């Protein structure tokens, strides 16, 4: 029985066995065109016998100091990048910019806390784009330990030490509510995203005050700002935390519409939730927008394809992704924080409420 090799063969072992210099072995694997054919074949044959597969690309990249790749880290499971409409559009912008620069991508999930440190520390990247950064203090801490550039795609809690790209959620949400007010609506319901992790249900003032996720909090406050200015009290506006899932959305709608005075207008904090709400409303024999108007949030491509096409607050999702890549691959010593504009896109899911 052949003796088991205790350690992997190194470049120096191949050079010694082949009777050539280490520089020649290196050239065979990295610059073969400058080595004579017979020498190349001899060295490769010896390397194969020893089980040497060539220089470790990780070592070469690290020595170069730049790998021309970025890491995308999220506090969601990895399938979030492929199943969520917002994430898909964001990744389109990121990948388009990476393609234009010949750069690669590495996806890192922060969902598994035990493996997070290893995932961040071992990723061969020039920097990180952090998604769902709010509540992800550990992710920020680990990324900082790598001493690589990173940018958050949500402004999150006030922290002037973090480069970030985002939108003005408060103003955008206020515009959505004002649009419905201008149409004459007075009975509203809010289908919210997460205020804290792993929770769905009826939202109270205490829920809002204890919110971990500032995006959800700011959108809620934006809605309330417009509604209160029109004389509508917060207590008269049902708000339900859906966690951006269909089950939570349906539960929220059932709760809102079980009474005798249901909403005539729904404010959804994502297009995904808005589209699910449209299907539920129509399934009850009601019309959109005849009986219920719906305004979404994000401006994903699916919004224009909904039936009827969805009125929504559109944010420049792909542009946010492109700018994030630029920040990583063109790092600056200063902190950069950008707030991009949003737009109210009017389609066919909003109309004045029925009289009576």
Which residue from 67, 55, 53, 65 is spatially nearest to 30, judged by alpha carbons?
Answer: 55
Q: Calculate the dihedral angle through the C-alpha atoms of 239, 137, 69, 298, rounding to the nearest 10 degrees.
A: 10
Per-residue pLDDT of the chain (356 residues), as tens digits, is 334 345 678 888 999 999 999 889 888 887 888 999 999 999 999 999 998 877 765 555 555 557 889 999 887 778 888 899 999 999 999 999 999 999 999 988 766 666 777 888 888 898 999 886 555 677 788 888 888 889 988 655 566 788 889 999 999 999 999 999 999 999 999 999 999 888 999 999 999 999 988 899 999 999 999 999 999 999 999 999 999 999 999 999 999 999 889 999 999 999 999 999 999 999 999 999 999 999 999 999 999 999 999 999 999 999 999 999 999 998 888 888 899 999 999 999 999 999 86
Cα angle for residues 157, 162, 168 (degrees, 5° grid): 50
Cβ atoms < 10 Å from Cβ of 185: 24
- What token pair was written down for 82? 């492929």
Residues 6+ apart with CB under 8 A from 235: none
Q: Which residues pair with 266 in a beta bridge?
A: 189, 294
């Amino acid at each position: 029985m052949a003796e088991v090799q205790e350690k992997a063969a190194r470049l120096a072992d191949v050079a010694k066995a082949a009777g050539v210099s280490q520089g020649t072995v290196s050239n065979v694997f990295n610059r073969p065109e400058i080595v004579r054919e017979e020498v190349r074949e001899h060295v490769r044959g010896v390397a194969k016998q020893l089980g040497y597969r060539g220089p470790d690309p990780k070592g070469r990249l690290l020595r170069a100091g730049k790998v021309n790749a970025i890491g995308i880290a999220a506090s969601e499971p990895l399938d979030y990048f492929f199943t969520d409409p917002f994430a898909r559009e964001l990744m389109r912008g990121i990948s388009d910019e990476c393609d234009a620069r010949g750069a690669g991508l590495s996806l890192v999930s922060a969902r598994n806390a035990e493996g997070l440190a290893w995932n961040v520390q071992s990723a061969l990247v020039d920097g990180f784009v952090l998604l769902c950064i709010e509540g992800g203090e550990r992710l920020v801490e680990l990324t900082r330990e790598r001493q690589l550039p990173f940018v958050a795609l949500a402004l999150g809690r006030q922290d002037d030490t973090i480069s970030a790209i985002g939108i003005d959620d408060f103003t955008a949400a206020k515009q959505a509510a004002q649009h419905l007010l201008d149409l004459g609506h007075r009975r509203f319901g809010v289908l919210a995203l997460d205020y804290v992790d792993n929770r769905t249900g009826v939202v109270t003032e205490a829920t809002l005050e204890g919110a971990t996720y500032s995006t959800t909090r700011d959108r809620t406050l934006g809605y309330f700002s417009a509604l209160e200015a029109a004389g509508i009290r917060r207590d008269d506006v049902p708000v339900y935390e859906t966690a951006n899932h269909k089950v939570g959305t349906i539960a929220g709608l059932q709760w809102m519409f079980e009474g005798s005075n249901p909403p005539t207008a729904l404010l959804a904090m994502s297009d995904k939730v808005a589209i699910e709400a449209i299907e539920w409303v129509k399934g009850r024999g009601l019309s959109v927008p005849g009986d219920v108007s719906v305004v979404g949030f994000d401006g994903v491509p699916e919004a224009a394809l909904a039936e009827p096409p969805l009125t929504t607050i559109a944010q420049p999702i792909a542009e946010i992704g492109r700018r994030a890549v630029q920040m990583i691959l063109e790092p600056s010593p200063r902190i950069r924080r950008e707030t991009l504009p949003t737009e109210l896109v009017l389609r066919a899911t909003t109309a004045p409420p029925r009289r009576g």
